[in-house]
């Protein structure tokens, strides 16, 4: 088992990474103030892993309330959040009752938001079962639900007590979901870890083949990179914004198509290519750099071209991005491969040229 720590003073917490961790009840109990937990998952993950985790916890004397919600980004809504509240209130869950999120990014985000707001805050443990959640969304305390006008627009910063990433759960991940997770893995290289870019170039096919050693290395490397950034900038007032490489474009794609049509990682993959093209237009990257970004995204099985959207629709949807400041769009771009920065002064003609070119390419 590998362990990385998110260093937030007296709110620091561990990230445990290894195979078979779902069955290790002691990892959970040491972070629970009472032997009672509400276990939130979705229909798909429940069939695979809910009985195992519930049996492990109950075998250790923990009383478990299972809460099963519908599966998919389309259900990351107030209605699903209220269903979780209903279950917690009906069971008279207390302020020391832990909420455990068993699933991917949607389950983790919505359970975390429920934990942040139920009784003004209850303990929360992340058990990510997708690659995307293990390397990114489960770490750092961002919790949210979607709004029709924008992704993750309603939420809270609320850190978990622990993240328990069982690598064995990746064996049941559909190929499309695995590729979606690789978008976030690739992101960490391009935004600030040049050595990791080179490692990915050599090991991307091993990750696609679910090689255990490669997966363990990638998950730990990504978690360590994110933990370092979160420790410096928990609430995204500075460096943490760099983690949104590809996301301004990607979130616009998700909102335009309807949440769930494209997976989050698919939209981020195409968004990273658009960010690279924008960086080239601003004189930071050359054609070879853009080709390298595009090739890696494609090798991961991700789209490199966005769906066709009108320029006005792109601009309107990106205007709802959380990074907008003073009415100005802020993009995470690349000064070089492995060095990201936030740019709030991308000239509109440059942006329109990039988006128009993407539409032509499509």
Residue 226 among the catalytic residues: yes
Q: Are strands 142-147 and 150-157 parallel, antiparallel or unpaired?
A: antiparallel
Active-site annotation holder among 226, 284, 322, 330: 226
Residue 184 among the catalytic residues: yes
Q: Are 329 and 236 in contact (CB under 8 A)?
A: no
The percent of the chain in helix, strand and coil, each rounded to the nearest 5, is 55, 20, 25
DSSP string across 291-336: HHHHHHHHHTT--SSPPP--HHHHHHHHTT-TT-BTTB--EEEEEE
Residue 120 among the catalytic residues: yes
Q: Are 336 and 317 in contact (CB under 8 A)?
A: no
Q: Is 210 helix (H, G, I), strand (E, B) or coil?
A: coil
Q: Is 151 helix (H, G, I), strand (E, B) or coil?
A: strand
Active-site annotation holder among 177, 220, 236, 266: 236
Active-site annotation holder among 187, 221, 224, 251: 251
Q: Where are the beta strands (DSSP E) in the chain?
A: 2-6, 13-18, 36-42, 63-69, 98-103, 124-128, 142-147, 150-157, 162-166, 331-336, 339-343
- Ramachandran class of 152: left when φ > 0, alpha when ψ lies in -120 to 50, beta otherwise: left
Active-site annotation holder among 244, 254, 266, 330: 244
Nearest C-alpha neighbor of 312 from the set 352, 280, 269, 261: 352
Active-site annotation holder among 240, 277, 322, 330: 240
Active-site annotation holder among 31, 76, 142, 280: 142
C-alpha gyration radius of the chain: 20
Active-site annotation holder among 31, 264, 280, 323: 264
Q: Are 250 and 268 in contact (CB under 8 A)?
A: yes
Residue 240 among the catalytic residues: yes
Active-site annotation holder among 146, 152, 177, 184: 184
Residue 244 among the catalytic residues: yes
Active-site annotation holder among 76, 247, 323, 330: 247
Q: Are 164 and 125 in contact (CB under 8 A)?
A: yes
Residue 96 among the catalytic residues: no
How remote is the C-alpha of 231 from its chain's centroid?
A: 17
Q: Phi/psi at 342 (nearest 5 deg)?
A: -100, 130
Q: Are 184 and 132 in contact (CB under 8 A)?
A: yes
Q: Which residues are catalytic?
A: 120, 142, 184, 226, 236, 240, 244, 247, 251, 264
């Amino acid at each position: 088992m590998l362990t990385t720590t998110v260093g937030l003073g007296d709110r620091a917490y561990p990230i445990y990474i290894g195979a078979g961790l779902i069955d290790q009840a002691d990892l959970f109990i040491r972070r629970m103030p009472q032997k009672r937990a509400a276990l939130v998952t979705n229909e798909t993950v429940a069939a695979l892993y809910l009985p195992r985790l519930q049996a492990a916890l109950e075998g250790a004397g923990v009383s478990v309330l299972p809460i099963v919600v519908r599966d998919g980004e389309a259900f990351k809504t107030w209605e699903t959040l209220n269903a979780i509240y209903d279950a917690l209130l009906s069971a008279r869950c207390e302020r020391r009752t832990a909420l455990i999120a068993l699933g991917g990014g949607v389950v983790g985000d919505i359970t975390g938001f429920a934990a942040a707001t139920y009784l003004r805050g209850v303990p929360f443990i992340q058990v990510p079962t997708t690659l995307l959640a293990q390397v990114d969304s489960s770490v750092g305390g961002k919790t949210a639900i979607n709004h029709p006008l924008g992704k993750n627009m309603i939420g809270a910063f609320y850190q978990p007590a622990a993240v328990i990433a069982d690598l064995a759960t990746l064996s049941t991940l559909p190929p499309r979901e695995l590729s979606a997770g690789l978008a976030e893995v690739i992101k960490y290289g391009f935004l600030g870890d040049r050595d990791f870019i080179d490692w990915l170039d050599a090991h991307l096919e091993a990750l696609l083949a679910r090689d255990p050693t490669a997966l363990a290395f990638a998950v730990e490397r990504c978690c360590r990179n994110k933990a370092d950034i979160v420790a410096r900038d928990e609430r995204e007032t500075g460096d943490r914004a760099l983690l949104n490489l590809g996301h301004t474009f990607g979130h616009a794609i998700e909102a335009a198509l309807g949440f769930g049509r494209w997976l989050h990682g698919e939209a981020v993959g195409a968004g990273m290519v658009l960010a690279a093209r924008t960086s080239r237009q601003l004189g930071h990257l050359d054609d070879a750099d853009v080709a390298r970004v595009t090739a890696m995204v494609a090798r991961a099985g991700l789209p490199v071209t966005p769906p066709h959207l009108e320029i006005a629709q792109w601009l309107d949807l990106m205007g709802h991005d959380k990074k907008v400041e003073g009415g100005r769009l802020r993009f995470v771009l690349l000064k070089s491969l492995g060095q990201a920065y936030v740019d709030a002064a991308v000239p509109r003609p440059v942006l329109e040229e990039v988006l128009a070119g993407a539409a032509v390419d499509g």
